[in-house]
Amino acid sequence: MNFLSLFVLIPILTMGGLFLSKNLQQIRVVVATGASLLLALAVGLVFAYLGERGAGNTAEMLFTADTVWYAPLNIHYSVGVDGISVAMLLLSAIIVFTGTFASWKMDFLQKEYFLWFNLLTIGVFGFFISVDLFTMFMFYEVALIPMYLLIGVWGSGKKEYAAMKLTLMLMGGSALLLVGILGIYFHSSTTGALTMNLQEIAQAHAMPENLQHWFFPLVFIGFGVLGALFPFHTWSPDGHASAPTAVSMLHAGVLMKLGGYGCFRVAIYLMPEAAKELSWIFIILTGISVVYGAYSAIVQTDLKYINAYSSVSHCGLVLFAILMLNQTAMTGAVMQMLSHGLMTALFFALIGMIYGRTHTRDIREMGGLMKIMPYLGVCYVIAGLASLGLPGLSGFVAEMTVFVGAFQETDTFHRVFTIIACTSIVITAVYILRVVGKLLYGSVVNEHHYALTDANWYERFSTIILIVAIAGIGLAPLWLSDMIRASLGSILAALQ
């Protein structure tokens, strides 16, 4: 058995443990153990991966394992990782770990909550380790459906509406995706030996260009819905605003990255000609995402909506960078996925903590929180600074790489949209500073807020891990960007 499969097996065992656990104490022990094991595994994987590469192993995918699953259709359970999936697995593990601690005080139906949370985890990890289109798609859908109940049962606000909207829109995306995947599958080989294996499809490169023009948009939009591609992003603000804290963290932090990763690994890798031909349409759409998301964030008053629109903007930037189709921008895209995942998780965790104390998320009803809860305030400022791209934090590294990559495309069209996208940096600063100023500084708006307490141990624990990761990437990004850059070879070769 391959150790990558542990990423799926550990959450399954955690679910089994949850079934057996009798009280809250046992539930907490089980989920904390599961999440810690996952984090340890992900860190171990990074070292093992860097070790293998250092030892001169240049295979595209490492730690591969392959078992035939459905022989008549040549579907395999096939796993393997390259630098990009290693980075995404590390991100997912960190967020699952911190999300588990952010849900420490879940007050009702804890067992069910963590069951669904772990099912979501299975989907996320399974997606990133898969090399086979079928299993990839299956895990993608596994990750979607627990969201409905997680938001519908444990959410807040207009949760039923938001849960239904999110589920149906994402299923709509996966409907497009399934047609695309079937199209890829039935054109995966010139000899008639059909395959679902990503690498084999890319090598065979058998799909005629006119068909690529049909299937590329299907797959790209299918994944793009999850990656908050304009105009399919509308599920995201409602969904994030209504979801419980840890689910918002996981959803904005990891699940939206499934979209970017899929666009990249399936749409562009397998249909490169169409990607080159049609990228302009999606550059326009993602350009709109980036700017529109940022502008929308300015006028929001609900903390979660602000952050959700900010996510639309930042995830739009991921897709934008991918579509530049050059090495630097793509490296930046993956860096941006990591960076946005970490800082948005930190944001949502902090918003959850503030909401848990003040019982409001409306910034007009809060003020001067820095005096009352300095720890949470400082964390919020750090997250904000990462978001607006302060050097030394992860946001700067990612956005810098993205824009440097985007400026390498010298024709007018790319130049214009790069400049438009760049303006989002300024707009981001506007809404971040507005929130920080209104929420944390100034006078205390509500008398009752004086009685509130600062963060307790599990809150400190989860925020510190996220901040360390954000600062870590910001201060020492090279190992990461080298790891990602080295793994882009095959995609760039396909694009030549």
Partner 1 sequence: MVYANFLLMKEEISLVTVIVILLIYDIFGSPKSLKYFQPTACILVGIHILLNIWPSPDVTAFGGMYHSTAMGGVMKSILSIGTLLVFMQANNWLSSERAIIRRGEFYMITLATLLGMYFMISAGNFLMFFIGLETASIPMATLAAFDKYKQKSAEAGAKYILTAVFASGLSLYGISLIYGTTGTLYFEDIPAGLNSSPLQMMAFVFFFVGLGFKLSLVPFHQWTPDVYEGAPTSVTAYLSVISKGSAAFVLMVILYKVFAPLVNEWQAILYWVIIASITLANIFAIRQQNLKRFFAYSSISQAGYIMLGVISGTAMGMTGLVYYVLVYMLSNLAAFGVIAVVEHRSGKITIDDYNGLYTTNPRLSFVMMIALFSLAGIPPFAGFFSKFFIFAAAAQQGYYVLVFIALLNTIISLYYYLRVVKAMFINKNEQPIARFNSDNYSRASLVVCSAGILLAGILSIVYESIGMFSFGM
What distances in angstroms separate CA 59 from CA 54, 199, 438, one per listed residue? 12, 11, 52
CB of 298 within 8 A of CB of 430? yes
Q: Is 153 exposed, middle or buried (0-12, 13-18, 19+ CB in 10 A)?
A: middle
User: Residues near 72 by Cβ (< 8 Å), separated by ≥ 6?
Assistant: none
> Could you please report the per-residue DSSP string of 71-97?
GGGTEEEEEEE-HHHHHHHHHHHHHHH
Name the residue among 457, 460, 440, 458 with its Cα closest to residue 449: 440
Out of 24, 40, 73, 433, point to the residue binding partner 1 (CB under 8 A): 73
Applying CB under 8 A, the span of 16-24, 166-174, 246-254, 437-445 interacting with partner 1 comes to 166-174
Out of 56, 72, 192, 231, point to the residue binding partner 1 (CB under 8 A): 72
Q: Which is nearer to partner 1, 153 or 425 (CB)?
A: 153
Applying CB under 8 A, the span of 17-25, 72-80, 362-370, 406-414 interacting with partner 1 comes to 72-80
| 447 CB neighbour count, 10 Å cutoff | 7
Q: Which is nearer to partner 1, 70 or 280 (CB)?
A: 70
The interface with partner 1 within residues 182-211 (CB under 8 A) comprises: 182-183, 185-186
Applying CB under 8 A, the span of 168-176, 378-386, 401-409, 450-458 interacting with partner 1 comes to 168-176
CB of 380 within 8 A of CB of 439? yes
Q: Which is nearer to partner 1, 211 or 430 (CB)?
A: 211
What distances in angstroms separate CA 108 from CA 120, 145, 154, 164, 379, one per listed residue? 19, 21, 8, 22, 28
Applying CB under 8 A, the span of 70-78, 261-269, 300-308, 316-324 interacting with partner 1 comes to 70-78
Out of 7, 97, 128, 134, point to the residue binding partner 1 (CB under 8 A): 134
Token pair 């507005």: residue: 434
The interface with partner 1 within residues 252-271 (CB under 8 A) comprises: none
Q: Which is nearer to partner 1, 176 or 353 (CB)?
A: 176
Residue 179 engages partner 1 in binding (rule: CB under 8 A) = yes
Minimum Å gap between C-beta 97 and partner 1 is: 24
Q: Which is nearer to partner 1, 160 or 273 (CB)?
A: 160
Q: Which is nearer to partner 1, 39 or 119 (CB)?
A: 119
Element housing 201 (H / E): helix 198-204
The interface with partner 1 within residues 211-250 (CB under 8 A) comprises: 214
Instruction: Extract the tokens encoding 403.
Output: 């824009």
Question: Which three-class secondary structure state does DSSP give residue 65?
Answer: strand
Minimum Å gap between C-beta 185 and partner 1 is: 7
CB of 203 within 8 A of CB of 212? no
Q: Which is nearer to partner 1, 76 or 233 (CB)?
A: 76
User: Is there a cis peptide before residue 231, judged by omega within 30 degrees of 0?
Assistant: yes
Contacts with partner 1 by CB under 8 A lie at: 69-73, 75, 134, 138-139, 141-142, 145, 148-149, 152-153, 160, 164, 167-168, 171-172, 175-176, 178-179, 182-183, 185-186, 214
